[in-house]
Each structure stands twice: as C-alpha cells, then as structure tokens.
Amino acid sequence: MHTSLPPPPPAFVFPVRVYYEDTDAGGVVYYANYLRFCERARTEWLRALGVEQQRLLAERGALFVVRHVRADYLAPARLDDSLTVESTIHDMRNVSVLFSQRIFREDKLLFTAEVKIVSVSSAAGRPIPWPDAVRAQLSPLSS
C-alpha cells in the first residue's frame, strides 16, 4: 500500500531589503540583524493571522518572549540584497512554539534558525498557556 506524506505546513514569506544600517563596515549584513529579520517575519505573520500582541498584553497580560535560538549562517547577505524570510511552525506546545526560519537571496539559502517563543505572564514573568485565540490560529499551522 502506498501512502503519501502529508503536505508540509504552510510557510509565511516576508520580503526584506538590506539597507546600509543592516551592514557592517564590509557591507555584509551584521550577524544579529538576521535575527531581526526573523523577528519581523514572525511578527508580521502573527499580524496577518489577526493575533494582536498589544491587545493580548492589555487584555490577558500575555507576552511572547524568545526562549532559545539556534542559528546557522551559511552565506553572507550584502547591501541592497532583496531577501526572503520563510517561516514555518515546527512544533506547538502548551506554552511554547518552535519556529523554523530560513533566509534566501533568490534561491540561495543564506541563514537558518530555530526560534522557540514562550507565552509569559507580564505580571509574574512565568510561562502561561497560549491564549485560546492564538492556539486556534497557530495549531493548524504546526507540522
């Protein structure tokens, strides 16, 4: 019996242009800025899904914080490059989401990262379960 694999989870694709402010003295993207590009992509994905972080903070006291990052720098991006940040959700747990992110210049893979985000109470500073609205939006996107 032949079984087909399930389709991969949907990816969110976010374009980024490299500006002078993103580069070091050699015109290469400064290493920390790849993480900034990934942060922007995750934030815009949540926004596109209708997840309003400021509203969750005001109404539920929930913050989203980075708990862990694993990054691999494969090739440099340079001034004026047009990049694409591709984001998928690798795993969703009760209080955490593991994002897989890749940055491309055209078809060339430049950077990969796994970023674990945790839902935290702003008052207590401790992990709390994802709000139901967030879980409803993100769970179907998890692989």
Active site residues: 24
Q: What's the Rg (C-alpha) of the chain? A: 17
In 3D, which of 88, 65, 84, 86 has the Cα closest to residue 141? 88
Alpha-carbon gap, residue 140 to 117, rounded angstroms: 17
Structure-token pair, residue 74: 């494969």
Alpha-carbon gap, residue 64 to 140, rounded angstroms: 19
DSSP 103-128: EEETTEEEEEEEEEEEEEETTT-SB-
